[in-house]
A and B are shown apart, each in its own frame.
Chain A
C-alpha cells in the first residue's frame, strides 16, 4: 500500500499466547462429528496481517479469542474486532479481510456477522452496516485493486 502517512504509527504490540488443544480419543473416530467452535474460527483469523504493519491481528489485539462467538447448530458466527485506535480508517478493510478469510474457509452454511467491538470506534455503526451488507461486500470484492490488498493481508493467514 502506498500511503506515506500511516494511520497508526506506533501500535501497541502484544505477545502471542500460544495454546494447544490436547489430543482426544474422539479425534481419531470418524463417526464423531467435530462441531466448529470459536477456537477453530479464531485460528482462521488470528494470523491475518494488519494492512499497515507487518503484524498480525492477534499481536495487535484486534482479534480476540473471547470475541469470537460460534454456534455450529444454528450456523451462526459473530466476530467482534477491536481497531487499535478509535478513528482507524482501516477498520472497514480489516473487517473485509476477516470476512473474506471466513468466506473462503468456513462451510457455506454459516451466516457470519462481523462487528466492531462496541465503543472502540467512532464510526462503529457505519462500519458495521457496511461490513454486514452483502451487496456492498460482493461489489467490493469485484474491485481487483481492493481484492489485491485483501489478499496481501491474508497471505500470512495460512
Chain B
C-alpha cells in the first residue's frame, strides 16, 4: 500500500515558487520564485538524510491551519536549511532553474526578463555568464546530459540551443522557430542529445542534430490544450507529457524499419515517428496539470519486467498524485510486441500545498523514492513515497 509522507517543509520564498531542481548527487535542491530570487537548500550537514530511518521518525500530528492530514515531522525545521539565496538574480520572476547534471557545480536560471544566467559557487554564488537573446519572457532552461549544451525557450515561440565554450561562457548554436506559439518547457533526453519542447500551441516537438544543424524531427500532436511539460522515463524509452487539457500522455518512438543505406537525397533527414501509448483520462485531474516527473521502480518494490516506475504529477487542483506505470497486460495476451502501457493512480495527496496550485514536482535522481514539490504557496516540500 503506497503512501506519501511529508518529510520537510522549506519556507523562505516570498512569492510563488515556480520550479525546483535537484543536483546530480541528490543532496541539494534549488528553487526559483516570483520574488525574483533563487534559493539553494540542503539537509543540515552531518546528517545522512535520505535513509528510511529518517523518514520513519515518529510523526507528530501537527494541525496546520486546517490541513489536518499533514503529518509533519516536528523537527523538520531543523533538518533542512537554506544554504544560499541568490537575490540579485534577475529583474523579474525567475521562472526556471537547473543544476548542471554532471558535476552540479553550475546552476542556470531563466527569467521573465528574457535572460538566462549561469551561476557558479565560489564561496557565494556568482554570475559567470548571462545569455541574452529571447525577445520576451524566457520560460525554461535545461542542460543536456553531457553538460555541454543548454536549451532555453520562451514566449517568443523560439527554442535556443547554446554550447559551452569551455571558459564558462556559452555560444548560441541554434535558434529554432517552428512552434507557432509560446514554448513552455524544454527537456533533454537522459542519455542522448535529443531535445523536446512543449508549447502553448498544443504540440510537442522533438529536435535532433544532424552535423551540427538542429532540426525538428517530429511533432507530437494529441493534446487539446497547452502542453505544460513532460518527463522521460529513466531508461529514456518513453516520454510523458502533461497538459492544460488535464490529461497525461505517454509517447514512445516507433521502431524505424528503414535501412541505413537508404539514400533519399542530399537534404534527407531521418524523421522520427512517435506514437501515443497511454493516456490518463481527464477525469483523474480536475484542473490543469503543470508538472510531471518519472522515477524508476525502487529495488524494494516488485521490479519485475514491465514495471516502469512511478509518475508524480502536480496540478492546479492542489493535488499531488503518484501513478504507477506498467506494461499493458493486453500485450501478453495477443503475443505481439505491443508497447502499450497501463497507468494506475496509486496515491494522491490533496492540498499538498494548502489551497494552492502545485507548480513543479521532481523526483530525486539518486534516491528514487524521494520527491520535491513546490507551489503557489511559496513553500517547497520534500516527500517520501513508501
The residues of A with any CB-CB pair to B shorter than 8 Å are 75, 108-109, 111, 129, 133-136, 138-139, 142
Contacts and interface: CB of A to CB of B under 8 A. Distances in A.
Given A109-B355, A111-B316, A139 B226 contact: no
Given A129-B226, A139-B136, 10 more contacts: A108-B355, A111-B287, A111-B316, A111-B317, A129-B200, A135-B184, A136-B155, A138-B34, A139-B93, A139-B155
A109 B137 CA distance: 27
B34 A133 contact: no
Nearest to B316: A111
19 contacts: A108-B355, A108-B356, A129-B200, A133-B200, A134-B316, A134-B357, A135-B95, A135-B184, A136-B155, A136-B182, A138-B16, A138-B34, A138-B93, A139-B93, A139-B136, A139-B137, A142-B92, A142-B93, A142-B112
Interface string B124-148: 0000000000001101000000000
Interface in B99-131: 112
A11 B137 CA distance: 35
A152 B37 CA distance: 29
B174 to A, nearest CB: 24
B219 interface: no
B225 interface: yes
- Among A75, A108, A134, A135, the most chain B Cβ lie within 10 Å of the Cβ of A135
A75 B93 contact: no
Contacts of A138: 16, 34, 93, 112
Interface of B, secondary structure class, is loop
Contacts of A134: 316, 357
Contacts of B34: 138
Contact of B226 (A109, A111, A133, A142): A133
Contacts of A111: 287, 316-317
Contacts of A129: 200, 225-226
Contacts of B93: 138-139, 142
Contacts of A75: 355
A93 to B, nearest CB: 18
A118 B264 CA distance: 49
B94 to A, nearest CB: 12
Q: Which of B95, B184, B355 has the most CB of A within 10 A?
A: B355
A111 B16 CA distance: 15
Interface in B272-329: 287, 316-317
Contact of B112 (A108, A109, A133, A139): A139
Contacts of A108: 355-356
Interface in B215-248: 225-226, 244
Contacts of A135: 95, 139, 184
Closest 4 pairs (CB-CB, A-B): A109-B355, A139-B137, A139-B112, A142-B92
Nearest to B136: A139
A135 B184 CA distance: 9
A138 B16 CA distance: 10
A108 B66 CA distance: 14
A144 to B, nearest CB: 11
Nearest to A130: B200
A111 B315 CA distance: 12
B68 to A, nearest CB: 16
Contacts of B244: 133
A111 B286 CA distance: 11
A151 B287 CA distance: 29
A114 to B, nearest CB: 14
Interface in B337-385: 355-357
A99 to B, nearest CB: 15
A136 B184 CA distance: 10
Contacts of B226: 129, 133
